[in-house]
Copies of this chain bind each other. A is one copy, B any other.
Amino acid sequence: MRDVAIIGCGMTKFGRLEGKGLMDLLAEASLRAIDDAGAGDRDFDAVYVANFAAGELTRQSAIASALVDQLSLLPAAADRVENGPASGGSAVKMGLLAVASGAYDLVLVAGGEKMTHVDTNVITGIVATLSQPDVEYVHGVTLPSLAAMFTRLYMQHHGVTEKHLAMVAAKNHANALKNPYAHLQKAVTIKEIMNSVMIADPLRLYHCCPISDGAAAVVLCPADVAKKYSDAPVRIAGFGQATDTHAVHEREDPTVLKAVQLASKQAFEMAGLGPSDIDVAELHDAFAILEIAQSEDAGFFRKGEGAKALEEGKTALDGELPINTSGGLKARGHPIGATGVAQIIELAWQLRGEAKERQVSGAKRAYCCNFGGFGNNVVTHILERMD
């Protein structure tokens, strides 16, 4: 397998982006990434597009080839990847494998979703289609309700409190204030969070990610030619991907995110690194509890000790392992297909020293977790600065 590097990053602002359609967003992010890579005059071999529900939300299918045409990258190969909320991570992995195989030398990976033009209840219903159809969906389970049950169980088993959940949200809102691409740019206090409207007991409004529009894109090439494009390429040192039972209640201990454990182990083994080598991480905090749970199951903290680490400030911007410096899904926003790619971009910017006010000083190695379904499909990546 050839080593693969990220040589270009670009994203749109996330948010309620009126007047911009899905293809506009994908094109904007892609052009920024291509420009960042200085590859505007190059022939791209392939384009991978991550998107969750273009058919349902924007009445368009086969968007990967549409994007290639719109970007004037004909006749590049085009594929769309859909893997629920892990679509972005999946697409990056596919681009990675395509370059690693030797088949392609220059690949664009773009992820995007246009959501805010559709009623929130409709969105919630569409997102719920990733739950288990016969024992979850059919009973009216939605992602917030699954997350609420998971949170309640986590509180019982691991001593997590409503205040801990609020601390995740407050931290990530504070980080997002320093990220011009973030959807929610507003500081919120623990009190405000704990008094916000109840969505699915015990989850309140500020414990949940917003519904966002946005897109993100990266350019990949073989690591050995990366410096021809970029002064600061970032190597993809490892990846992992694992599935778990579709129905959450079938898991031996539903508070254990087994797919996060396995996918993280794979990525660390491939990179020849361990959790203590990581300087900055992006976790999939679609709901506040998930940041705590993933910080444990990825191996950064022992099971049941994630909340304590949060409390001690270890995951804060100036802590020993800053988590979700971008603001996370919580505050950067969660345009579903874009998220996994945006996580990678935040980390690449950190490793390139370009994260400005939210820069983690001297960051060399980064980890990210893109979490699909309710943890039944997880994609992880480990990135490393190339010096």
Contact = CB atoms under 8 A, between A and B. Distances in A.
A234 B134 CA distance: 38
A80 B81 contact: yes
A372 B66 contact: no
Nearest to A133: B60
A123 interface: no
A25 to B, nearest CB: 14
Interface stretch (A6-14, A48-56, A289-297): A48-56
Interface stretch (A188-196, A243-251, A300-308): A243-251
A166 interface: no
Contacts of A62: 82-84, 86, 129-130, 372-373, 376-377
Given A55-B53, A75-B262, A244-B74, A65 B101 contact: no
Interface of A: 1, 23, 46, 52-53, 55-56, 59-62, 64-66, 68-70, 73-84, 86, 90, 93-94, 97-98, 100-103, 126, 129-130, 132-133, 137, 241-246, 258-259, 262, 372-373, 376-377
Interface centre among A64, A90, A102, A262 (most CB of B within 10 A): A64
A55 B126 contact: yes
Contacts of A55: 53, 55-56, 126, 129
A100 B79 CA distance: 18
Contacts of A65: 83-84, 243, 246, 372-373, 376-377
Given A52-B61, A79-B81, A101-B101, 8 more contacts: A55-B56, A55-B126, A60-B133, A61-B82, A62-B376, A78-B83, A80-B81, A98-B101
A243 to B, nearest CB: 5
Nearest to A74: B243
A130 B97 CA distance: 27
A130 B61 contact: yes
A103 B97 contact: yes
A133 to B, nearest CB: 6
Interface centre among A56, A60, A90, A103 (most CB of B within 10 A): A103
A353 B266 CA distance: 40
Contacts of A84: 61-62, 65
Contacts of A243: 65, 68-69, 73-78
A52 B64 CA distance: 13
Contact of A258 (B73, B75, B83, B93): B75
Contacts of A46: 241
Nearest to A77: B241
6 contacts: A55-B55, A60-B130, A62-B129, A65-B243, A70-B246, A77-B93
A80 B79 contact: no
Contacts of A79: 81, 83, 90, 93-94
A376 B59 CA distance: 18
Contacts of A78: 83, 241, 243, 377
Contacts of A80: 81-83
A121 B78 CA distance: 28
B129 A75 contact: no
A1 B56 contact: no
A132 B67 CA distance: 11
Nearest to A56: B55
